[in-house]
């Protein structure tokens, strides 16, 4: 769902975002100059009630997972005045302008496998499914105990 747009105006990227409960009529995108690969491409700025520009978000480059390989911008707008962060994606280009789409975050599957380095818990124990090895034998009785579970940990 498109909820806004940005266009080049006098050398600046200016725009707005509006939903049923959010109205951000004066927004700007400021290019981030950084050598860090993890730095965002743009900061999202909003004009506050004191008529000052304040940062309310950032955008990073992303590539569509489907076969098109389309490059777009994604990020989040967040401010103490909002009840929750607003995830967004921008499609288009700096010269032609951007369309702003709202992104619904995908809920995390609580039963999905836990991804760990080397597929294990990281401590040398466990099968990589996030739950570790069972201490129960085939008959349900305690098969073995791990010494590290029985070690006392002193209070500091």
19-32: per-residue pLDDT in tens? 998 999 999 999 99
Residue-wise pLDDT for 126-145, tens only, equals: 444 445 555 666 666 666 65
pLDDT at residue 122, as a whole number: 43
Whether 16 has a pLDDT exceeding 90, the answer reads yes
Structure confidence at residue 126 (pLDDT) = 47
- 2, 99 in Cβ contact below 8 A? yes
CA atoms within 13 A on the CB side of 143: 8
What are 92-105's pLDDT values in tens digits? 999 899 999 997 76
Answer whether 72's CB lies under 8 Å from 90's CB: yes
Place of tokens 């129960």: 136
Q: Pick the range with the lowest mean pLDDT from 40-44, 81-85, 117-121.
A: 117-121
For the chain, how many residues are written? 156
Bigger pLDDT: 9 or 123? 9
pTM > 0.85: yes or no: no
């Amino acid at each position: 769902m498109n909820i806004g747009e940005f266009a080049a105006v006098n050398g600046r990227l200016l725009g707005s975002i509006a939903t049923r409960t959010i109205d951000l009529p004066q927004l700007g995108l400021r290019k981030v100059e950084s050598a860090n690969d993890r730095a965002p491409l743009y900061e999202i700025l909003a004009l506050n009630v004191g008529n000052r520009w304040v940062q309310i978000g950032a955008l990073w480059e992303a590539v569509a997972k489907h076969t098109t390989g389309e490059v777009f911008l994604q990020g989040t707008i967040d401010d103490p005045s909002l009840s929750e962060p607003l995830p967004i994606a921008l499609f288009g280009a700096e010269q032609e302008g951007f369309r702003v789409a709202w992104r619904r975050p995908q809920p995390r599957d609580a039963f999905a496998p836990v991804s760990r380095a080397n597929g294990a818990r990281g401590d040398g124990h466990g099968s990589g499914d996030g739950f570790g090895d069972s201490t129960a034998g085939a008959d349900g009785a305690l098969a073995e105990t791990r010494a590290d579970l029985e070690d006392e940990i002193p209070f500091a």
